[in-house]
Amino acid sequence: MLNAAAAERNKEPILAVLRESVNTGRPLQALEISSGTGQHVTHFAQGLRNVIWQPSEYDRQSLASIEAYRAHYQLHNVKPAIHLDASQPPQYWGGIQPESLDLVVNINMIHISSFACTEGLFKGAGIVLKPQGLLLTYGPYAVNGQITPQSNIDFDYSLRQRNSEWGLRDISLLSSTAQRNGLFLEKLIDMPANNKCLLFRKESLV
């Protein structure tokens, strides 16, 4: 059971956003892409018992940690974790069917992965979400070409030093990428530690 300090800090504020954003009165199907340690999905599953959660990860060590959290908490609404590469088309996402999900959650991935993963996230979410389904992303972002405060500027610099394909993405870029895949930015919520939650809604054809 790996433990990420940031996940421990932000899991409750993100759960609060989820509680306000999803229907808590009927059964829902959710996919977390890039589940990390498993701290988020097990916390969300305890707080939203009406949601069946599918955790996923690219990193094998993290997959083992997610399974350890599942075993520890014995949650009936968390499925076994699947290996998922967000840069790949959704037909390679562990058998998840088109328009089968009410919710896709992606926390702290966009800035520490190539933009191909971000494009894949939006393309895949646009396919696997039901009409009116929700994609929630969380992390630090640039706004209209500006990164604030200084700590996020320093963080962006350190990420790009580690990998030139990493770095904070601009919300306008994410919004336009979403729109190309039938999703629109419905809400932007300021979060603790200079992060934001972005809520993207899948447009219905009605």
Q: What is the pairing mode between strands 28-33 and 101-107?
A: parallel
In Å, the largest CA–CA distance within the chain is 46
- The secondary structure of 45-71 as a DSSP string is HHH-TTEEEEEEESSHHHHHHHHHHHH
Cβ within 8 Å of residue 163, ≥6 positions away: none
* pLDDT at residue 158, as a whole number: 97
Percentage above 70 pLDDT, the chain: 99
Q: How confident is the model at residue 205 (pLDDT cuts 50, 70, 90)?
A: low
The three-class DSSP label of residue 84 is: coil
pLDDT tens track for 42-101: 999 999 999 999 999 999 999 999 999 999 999 999 999 999 999 999 999 999 999 999
| Of residues 41, 107, 50, the one with CA closest to residue 73 | 41
How far is Cα 115 from Cα 80, in angstroms, rounded to an integer? 27
pLDDT at 206 over 80: no
* pLDDT at residue 148, as a whole number: 95
The residue type at 157 = Y
Kindly report the average pLDDT of the chain as a whole number.
96
pLDDT at 166 over 90: yes
Percentage above 90 pLDDT, the chain: 97
* pLDDT at residue 32, as a whole number: 98
For residue 131, the domain's CATH number is: 3.40.50.150
How far is Cα 107 from Cα 69, in angstroms, rounded to an integer? 17
Cβ within 8 Å of residue 146, ≥6 positions away: none
- Determine the structural domain holding residue 136 and report its residue range: 5-202
Q: Mean per-residue pLDDT for 169-175?
A: 98
Q: DSSP label at 143?
A: B
pLDDT at 38 over 80: yes
- The Cβ-side half-sphere exposure at 106, using a 13 Å CA radius, reads 26
* pLDDT at residue 127, as a whole number: 97
pLDDT tens track for 119-138: 999 999 999 999 999 999 99
How far is Cα 7 from Cα 107, in angstroms, rounded to an integer? 9
Q: pTM score, two decimals?
A: 0.97
Residue 115 in tokens: 């933009």
CB atoms under 10 Å from CB of 154, counted, come to 11
Q: How confident is the model at residue 17 (pLDDT cuts 50, 70, 90)?
A: very high
Number of domains in the chain: 1
pLDDT at 144 over 70: yes
How far is Cα 67 from Cα 75, in angstroms, rounded to an integer? 11
pLDDT at 116 over 60: yes
Cis before 149? omega within 30: yes
Q: DSSP label at 79?
A: P
* pLDDT at residue 24, as a whole number: 87
**Angle, vertex CA 52, rays to CA 193 and CA 83, nearest 5:** 75
